[in-house]
C-alpha cells in the first residue's frame, strides 16, 4: 500500500507526524522522532506572551529551528501562537527567514467578553490570516478550535484567501478547582481515543468542500484511529498524547499497522482510502440530524429487549 500523501503542498511518505508539543524542545527526541518514521516535524509553539513577558527569547526558538533543520531530512513546520496581527507577522517573517518549510498558526482564543459577538471573533482571525497570506511565502496551516458557530463558513473564508491547510482541532484546556484551598488547579490531561470522534465528524464535513489540506489532531492513539482519520478525509495525522505516553515508537507501529490493514482490505494507496467516509455530496444539515437521532436511539436500558430482536 502506497502511503504517500500531500500536505501543505509538501509530499510526505505517509500522513503521520508529531503535533506541536514540548517534545521538539529536545534535539535528541527530535532525532528519535525522525528515526521512528515521523513524516515531518511540527515544532512546539512560539507564544507571543512568552516573548513579551521575557520568559522566552525569539532567538532561542529560531536557533532551535535552525538546529532541527540541520539535524533532520524531513520537512520542519514551525508553530506560532500570537495575539495580534503585528506580532503574528513579525515572528512569521523571522521563522520564514530561518528556513521553516511551513508554518502552523495556532489560534487559541476563548471569548469571555459578553459584548464581543461571534462575528468579531471570526473577523479577528480572518484579518490576521489575510495579513500573513499576503505577506509571506511559506505554506500556512491554521489550527482551529471546534467552538466557532459556523465552522464551515469560517473554513471557506480561510480557504479562499489562500490558506494551505487547516488543523482540527486545538484542544480546549480547562483548569480544575481545588475546593479546599480555593485555588485554580492547572494540570494537563492527555487526550484519549474518544476525543477522536469530534475531529472525525468535522474532517468528514469539510472534506471535498475546500482546496486546503486537512490535518487531524487529537485522539489518535491506535492504528485504527489513524485509519478512521484518513477515511474521514485527513491528509495529515498529528500525534501528541500518544507520543507523550509511549514515545516515538508510536510512529513505527502506526505506519506498520496502518499499511497492514490497507493491504488486508485491498487498498492500493492512502489516496484511495482518503475521504471514503466524508459527507461529500450529502446534505450536511440533514445527515447530521439523522446521525443525531440514530445515536440517541442506539441507547437501550441494560437488560431491556432491543428493537427488532
Burial class (CB in 10 A: 0-12, 13-18, 19+), 156: middle
Q: Return mean pLDDT, the chain.
A: 90
Question: What is the reported pLDDT for 88?
Answer: 81
Residue 125 lies in a domain: yes
The C-alpha atoms of residue 237 and residue 265 are separated, in whole angstroms, by 20
Residue 288 lies in a domain: no
Give the model's confidence band at 236: pLDDT under 50 very low, under 70 low, under 90 confident, else very high: very high
Relative orientation angle of helices 151-160 and 196-206, to the nearest 10 degrees: 60
Q: What is the pLDDT of residue 106?
A: 92
| Dist CA 85 CA 81 (whole Å) | 11
Q: Is 259's pLDDT higher than 60?
A: yes
- Kindly tell me the burial class for residue 183, based on how many C-beta atoms sit within 10 Å of its own C-beta (0-12, 13-18, 19 or more): exposed
Residue numbers of the domain that contains 14: 5-283
- Report the pLDDT value the prediction gives residue 111, as an integer from 0 to 100: 83
CB count in 10 Å sphere of residue 258: 25
Residue 261, C-alpha cell as written in the block: 490493514
Query: What is the pTM for the complete model shown?
Result: 0.91
User: What is the percentage of the chain residues whose pLDDT exceeds 70?
Assistant: 91
CATH number at residue 87: 3.20.20.70
Give the count of domains, the chain. Answer: 1
Residue 14 located in a structural domain: yes
C-alpha separations of 5 from 15, 76, 137, 176, 230 in Å: 6, 16, 21, 40, 10
| 176 domain residue, yes or no | yes
Q: Residue 106 phi/psi, 5° resolution?
A: -95, 100
Distance of CA 61 to the CA centre of its chain: 21
Please tell me the predicted confidence (pLDDT) of residue 181: 95
Residue 298 included in any domain: no
pLDDT at residue 304, rounded to an integer: 65
On the question of pLDDT at 136 being above 90, the answer is: yes
pLDDT, tens digit, 9 for 90 and up, residues 66-122: 999 999 999 999 999 877 777 788 889 999 999 999 999 998 888 889 999 999 999
Q: Kindly tell me if the per-residue pLDDT of 309 is higher than 60.
A: no
pLDDT tens per residue across span 22-70: 999 999 999 999 999 999 999 999 887 666 666 666 788 999 999 999 9
185 Cβ contact partners less than 8 Å away, ≥ 6 residues apart: 175, 176, 177, 178
The pLDDT score that the predictor gives to residue 81 is 87
Average of per-residue pLDDT across 241-258: 94
Neighbouring CB atoms inside 10 A of 78's CB total 31
Q: Are the C-beta atoms of 163 and 129 separated by less than 8 Å?
A: yes
Amino acid at each position: 500500500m502506497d502511503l504517500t500523501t500531500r500536505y501543505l503542498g509538501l509530499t510526505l511518505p505517509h500522513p503521520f507526524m508529531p503535533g506541536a508539543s514540548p517534545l521538539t524542545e529536545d534535539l535528541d527526541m527530535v532525532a528519535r522522532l525522525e528515526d521512528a518514521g515521523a513524516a515531518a516535524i511540527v515544532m512546539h509553539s512560539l507564544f507571543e506572551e512568552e516573548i513579551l513577558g521575557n520568559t522566552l527569547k525569539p532567538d532561542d526558538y529560531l536557533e532551535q529551528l535552525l538546529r532541527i533543520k540541520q539535524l533532520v531530512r524531513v520537512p520542519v513546520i514551525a508553530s506560532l501562537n500570537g495575539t495580534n496581527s503585528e506580532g503574528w507577522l513579525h515572528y512569521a517573517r523571522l521563522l520564514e527567514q530561518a528556513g521553516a518549510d511551513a508554518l502552523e498558526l495556532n489560534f487559541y482564543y476563548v471569548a469571555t467578553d459578553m459584548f464581543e459577538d461571534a462575528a468579531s471573533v471570526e473577523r479577528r482571525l480572518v484579518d490576521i490570516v489575510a495579513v500573513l497570506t499576503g505577506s509571506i511565502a511559506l505554506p500556512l496551516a491554521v489550527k482551529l478550535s471546534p467552538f466557532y458557530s459556523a465552522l464551515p463558513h469560517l473554513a471557506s473564508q480561510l480557504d479562499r484567501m489562500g490558506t494551505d491547510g487547516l488543523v482540527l482541532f486545538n484542544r480546549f484546556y480547562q483548569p480544575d478547582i481545588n475546593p479546599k484551598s480555593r485555588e485554580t488547579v492547572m494540570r494537563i490531561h492527555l487526550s484519549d481515543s474518544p476525543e477522536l470522534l469530534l475531529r472525525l465528524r468535522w474532517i468528514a464535513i469539510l472534506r471535498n468542500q475546500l482546496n486546503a489540506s486537512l490535518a487531524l489532531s487529537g485522539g489518535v492513539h491506535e492504528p485504527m484511529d489513524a485509519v478512521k482519520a484518513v477515511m474521514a478525509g485527513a491528509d495529515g495525522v498529528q500525534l501528541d498524547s500518544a507520543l507523550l505516553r509511549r514515545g516515538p515508537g508510536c510512529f513505527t507501529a502506526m505506519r506498520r499497522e496502518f499499511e497492514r490493514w490497507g493491504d488486508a482490505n485491498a487498498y492500493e494507496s492512502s489516496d484511495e482510502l482518503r475521504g471514503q467516509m466524508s459527507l461529500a455530496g450529502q446534505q450536511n444539515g440533514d445527515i447530521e440530524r439523522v446521525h443525531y437521532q440514530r445515536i440517541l436511539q442506539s441507547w437501550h436500558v441494560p437488560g431491556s429487549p432491543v428493537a427488532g430482536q
